[in-house]
Amino acid sequence: MKAVYFFDEGDGKNRKLLGGKGAGLCEMTRLKLPVPPGFVITTEVCKKYYENNKKLPKEVITQVKKNIAKIEKKTGKKWNSKDNPLLVSVRSGAAISMPGMMDTILNLGLNDKTVEGLAKKSNNPRFAWDSYRRFIQLFGKVVFGVDDKKFDDVLDQAKKNQAVQSDSALNEKSLRCVVSDYKKICEKHTGQPFPVNPFDQLELAIKAVFSSWMGERAVVYRDKNSITKDIADGTAVNVVSMAFGNMGNDSATGVVFTRNPGDGTNHIFGDYLINAQGEDVVAGIRTPKHVDTMKDELPESYKQLVKTCERLEKHYKEPQDIEFTIEQGDFYLLQTRSAKMNAAGMIKTSVDMVKEKLINKDRALQRLQPEQLEQLLHKTIDQSKLKDFTQVTKGIAASPGAASGIAVFDVKKAVEIGEKGTKVILVREETKPEDVPAFFASVGILTSRGGKTSHAAVVARGMGKPCIVGASELKIDYEAGKCTADGKTISDGDSITIDGSSGAVYLGEVPTIEPKMTDNFKTILDWAQKTKKIGIRANADTPAGAQLARNYGAQGIGLCRTERMFNAQDRIGLFVDMIMAKTIQERKKVLEKLGQLQKSDFIQILKAMEGYPVTIRLLDPPLHEFLPNPEELANKLRKLEEQNATSEINKTKTVLERARDLAEINPMMGHRGVRVGITYPEIYEIQIRAVFEAAAELAKQKVDARPQIMIPQVSSIAELNHIKRIYDEIKSEMQKKYGRKFKINFGTMIEVVRAALTANELAHTAEFFSFGTNDLTQATFSFSREDAEGKFLPEYLEKELLETSPFQSLDVNGVGSLMKIGISSGRSIKPNLEVGICGEHGGDPKSIKFCHHSGLNYVSASPHRIPIAIVAAAQAALEKSSKKPSKKPKSKKKAKKKAKRR
Ligand code: ADP
Ligand code: MG
Ligand code: MG
């Protein structure tokens, strides 16, 4: 087994074998960049180490010795020498960067003899003894597990004794004392003399690195971040000859990004420290300087740094994050990796690198993380101001963006003052459809219950309003008009800020940063639009939502929920009247008015989406969702009775009766969707008619409106045909009335398992399918999503019984299989059947990938996720085409060859 790779032997791409750090060091060595000579002990050896009862195989030690000799040759320094000693660092490094692993040991190889050699050779005893004390401290801490504080105390005492402030001011004499004390600390801890033989030191250090792989910190980190064995299996060990940044004022150590990770500006960005070593820059012992000042302080090294950064980018085609050390003017690289950047930085660098011809457009799109773009689409908290504010609690980040306003617990009050222009944050235990008017009137929503797909979360996301749900610490007392968490109180009218991107709730008005659609972002979206294959539509129920989605690049509306319109302030009363109507005639009269209102809504939305399809879904939720809940009504009734308010009492009583009448044990599987349409046909009739009327009106105005009508919750062709007959009647009535033909497609949602399984039957009548994957997921798992998210789902995720919530990312194996059945059997009847998806999954990049590969025509996502969806769709398209060329040409060639042979 080749256990050890000298840096010039390693392949920079083999991160699994060499670890990320090792692969980087090998690659840079191959590029002839100034990397101190060294070698990597592979992750395979780490595995062997554990198989071998935590012992290093003999052959590994032999190979290590050979490679040390190789370093000696390259550097001219000698291992364990009293004249010119070779010192090394021992560093861990797994396939992916992983905090929690062992700390690096620097200056290994020092002992009482070699320290004198280092002093003599460098003509700088202070430096030698500074290196020695650093070595013992790191070795003691990392290998022996000595508490760091013991060393710090000694160092502090030494500074006091010599009356200096800074480590770098300690003189040789003080450092000699520190070294002697440090050794005593270690010896007391282990009961053994401190190891003096450099090979002993090295072996102990290597073993300590391997052992840290299974250390608690590392195991927990891997667990938390789902780093499985196929991602990183064991750590490598890097042994690197030392470059000394602590050799005087012409020496330094630093960390830089090749481009600014905050905004992507093409200018190196980072910090350095003169006369320092290793982690001093990040440790905060001294305040590091901005790398720009290096231009004056160490001009030659600065030039080299800039050149090196350019070189690395040219090679990796990705901004880098590097570590360097300058030893008496000589520049050394100690690490490189792809720079982590925020969304703005990623966008700008993508566009810039294409302009610089460093990468092509495909790569520019592929390197983005679609989810990250969310940052650019919402107001964000000004992080720099956060320190002045108190965090009250943290809930589930349900709809991104930051908002400040006054806390209001009462729905009616929120509507009243919100509509007058006061910025309101609605604070509730949970929300119901009847609360929707308050959503319109509020700038943000905070609930103490519910999960990411609770009513509050879904509605807020649809409107693009910041929302936090499930802030379970928050105890709300509606009566007293206040809530408390963690000993802090928010009273009705107090100003608060919610960060829907992180879930944090703050007291007071935290300053925010406005989102802006930069030219670079527009450029990226433009490239993505041209690259993607699958259509992107929006879930939008308001003209404003439709307009926003269109501005972001949506090409149509995949889901327009009509119930949202009934929830608007001026409608809900009418809708309740409709539900309460005692006779059909009475109901029809109210419906007539509602129909007029719907018509005008449709007109506006269709106008906003002119030229693109708009899928209008008929009423879906059960009727009782529009009434106050029975418990609240009963409370109200009790109070009214106390006050003897007779007329009110009777009204409330009837509403309560009706609400109890309509109440269901399991509303999600209850009287809703097409089931309501069948038992209250007048509701669907009025809605269908409103769509036709709107289309007729827009035709008159010469607007290219393209509505289509969609039926929810369908489980059988009988149901669908039943509604289709109503649709057909209204259609011919309308065609007569307006003397023209209408092209308004009639389709069905596929959100009931039976619908997916009998899609071939449904396809005879349906002119399009749209997968409602929220309900389909519930039905497939038999999980009621609200209960699941509130109760057991978090534990399922924790125990890894589920990788991600199936309500967030499409369950490809289960729900995905049903979808495939639905798609193929639907298209077996109508080969060109339009099939889309309108669940919340439509905005999830992973789910979009699945939809692309399954041949869906479009995904529909909430307006604020449109840019994310467009980029994700482009990536899905590129994935396919980048796979193809490598396979197809081969098979074509083969085919040709065969043909020739014949
Ligand atoms: P981490 O993964 O925590 O960054 P590293 O192994 O990169 O740990 O090392 C910690 C610090 O020590 C870094 O600042 C690195 O540049 C420095 N360092 C590591 N090896 C050497 C070396 N051979 N010469 C000089 N500095 C080194
Ligand atoms: Mg570290
Ligand atoms: Mg590092």
Tell me the pLDDT tens digit for each residue of 870-885.
999 999 999 965 544 4
pLDDT at 453: 67
Residue 33's pLDDT is what? 96
Q: Contact, 322 vs 313, CB < 8 A?
A: no
Q: Which residues contact 464 (CB under 8 A, 6 or more apart)?
A: 378, 399, 401, 545, 548, 862, 863, 864
Contact 641, 649 (CB under 8 A): yes
The two beta strands, 105-108 and 482-485, are: unpaired
Q: What is the rounded distance in angstroms from the CA atom of residue 223 to the CA atom of residue 848?
A: 27
Name the E strands within 265-394. Answer: 269-274, 289-290, 320-327, 330-338, 380-381, 391-394
257 DSSP β-pair partners: 269, 321
Say what the pLDDT of residue 880 is.
Answer: 61
The whole-angstrom separation of Cα 398 and Cα 469 is 6
pLDDT of 785: 82
Q: Is 492 in the pocket of ligand 1 (CB under 6 A)?
A: no
Q: What is the pLDDT of residues 421-433, one digit of tens each?
A: 899 999 999 888 7
Q: Quote the crossing angle between the two packed helices 125-139 and 198-213, to the nearest 10°.
A: 40
Q: Which of 548, 563, 561 is nearest to 609 (CA)?
A: 548
Reduced to 3 states (helix: H, G, I; strand: E, B; else coil), residue 563 is helix
In the numeric block, which tokens belong to residue 657? 């009766």
Copy the structure tokens of residue 816.
Answer: 């995905």
Four-CA torsion 552, 556, 562, 567, nearest 10 degrees: 10
List, edge to edge, every strand of the sheet that includes 475-477.
Answer: 475-477, 482-485, 488-491
Residue with CA closest to ligand 1 atom 26: 278
CA of 498 to the centre of ligand 3 (A): 36
Supply the residue whose CA is at minimum distance from atom 9 of ligand 1: 104
Ligand in closest contact with the CA of 324: 1
503's tokens: 């879930």
Cα 130 from Cα 327, distance rounded (Å) = 15
Rounded to a whole number of angstroms, the distance between the first and last alpha carbons of the chain is: 47
Judged by DSSP in three states, 122 sits in helix
CB 352 within 8 A of CB 344: no
Q: Is 263 in the pocket of ligand 1 (CB under 6 A)?
A: no
Query: Which-ligand-closest: CA of 98?
Result: 1
Supply the pLDDT for residue 283: 67
Q: Which of these, 754, 769, 852, 768, lies nearest to 810 by C-alpha position? A: 852
Of 309, 378, 455, 851, which residue is the catalytic one?
Answer: 455
CB 496 within 8 A of CB 403: no
Supply the residue whose CA is at minimum distance from atom 8 of ligand 1.
104
Which residue of 7, 74, 77, 89 sits with most ligand 1 atoms within 8 Å of its CB, as the best mutation to test the pocket?
89
CB 479, CB 451: distance < 8 Å: no
CB 102 within 8 Å of CB 141: no
Q: Is the CB of 334 under 6 A from ligand 1?
A: yes
> Residues in the chain, how many?
902
**838 catalytic per annotation:** yes
Q: Which helix (H) or strand (E) holds 458?
A: helix 455-463
Ligand 1 pocket member 43 (CB < 6 A): no
CB 497, CB 379: distance < 8 Å: no
Please report the pLDDT score of residue 457 as a whole number. 86
Please identify every stretch of the chain with a pLDDT value under 70, giving residue numbers as ranges: 100-101, 282-285, 453, 569, 880-902
Q: How distant is the alpha carbon of residue 421 from its chain centre?
A: 33
Query: Which numbered atom of ligand 1 lies nearest the CA of 97?
Result: 2
CA 889 to chain centre: 37
* Three-state secondary structure readout of 196-238: CCHHHHHHHHHHHHHHHHCCHHHHHHHHHCCCCCCCCCCEEEE
Take residue 71 and report the two structure tokens written for it.
């370093």
Element (H, E) at 842: none
Q: Which residues does 651 contact at the CB level (< 8 Å), separation at least 6?
A: none
Residues 370 and 182: their CA atoms lie apart, in Å, by: 50
Which of 28, 41, 325 is the best mutation target for the ligand 1 pocket, counting ligand atoms within 8 Å of the beta carbon and taking the most? Answer: 325
Read off the tokens for 780. Answer: 């497939």
**DSSP for residue 840:** G
Contact by Cβ (8 Å): 448, 474: yes
pLDDT of residue 892: 40
Left (φ > 0), alpha (ψ -120 to 50) or beta: where does 58 sit?
alpha
Q: Residues with Cβ < 8 Å from 344, sequence gap 6 or more? A: 262, 263, 264, 375, 376, 518
> 3-class SS at 341?
coil
Residue 388: closest CA among 279, 280, 304, 510: 510
Q: In sequence order, which ranges of 644-716 are alpha helices (DSSP H)?
A: 646-662, 674-679, 681-700
Element (H, E) at 301: helix 299-316
330 touches ligand 1 (CB under 6 Å) = no
CA distance 732 to 555: 29
Q: Is the CB of 209 under 6 A from ligand 1?
A: no
Q: Are 674 and 686 in contact (CB under 8 A)?
A: no
- In 3-state terms, the chain is what percent helix, strand and coil (to 5)? 55, 15, 30
Token pair of 49 as six digits:
């180490």
Beta strands 467-469 and 396-399: pairing type? antiparallel
- Tokens, residue 670: 């209850």
Token duo for residue 162: 């010599």
Residue 123 phi/psi, 5° resolution? Answer: 55, 35
Q: What DSSP string describes 129-162?
A: HHHHHHHHHHHIIIII---HHHHHHHHHHHHHHH
Contact 714, 755 (CB under 8 A): yes
Q: Whose CA is nearest to atom 3 of ligand 1?
A: 103
Closest by Cα among 50, 28, 52, 48 to 38:
28
Q: Which helix (H) or strand (E) holds 268?
A: none
The 10 Å CB-count burial string (b at 16+, else e) for 424-433 is: bbbbbbbbbb
Spatial strand order in the sheet of 391-394: 391-394, 504-507, 495-499, 402-408, 424-428, 444-447, 467-469, 396-399
Burial class (CB in 10 A: 0-12, 13-18, 19+), 328: middle
* Ligand 1 contacts CB of residue 401 (under 6 A): no
Cα gap 261→85, rounded to integer Å: 39
Q: What is the pLDDT of residue 891?
A: 42
- What is the rounded CA–CA span in Å between residue 335 and residue 262? 21
**CA 454–ligand 1 middle distance (angstroms):** 47
378 is catalytic: no
Distance CA 51, CA 750 (A): 52
Residue found under tokens 């090979």: 199
Task: Specify whether the CB–CB gap between 348 and 265 falls below 8 A.
Answer: yes
* Cβ proximity of 422 and 441 under 8 Å: no
In ligand 1, the atom with minimum distance to the C-alpha of 91 is: 6
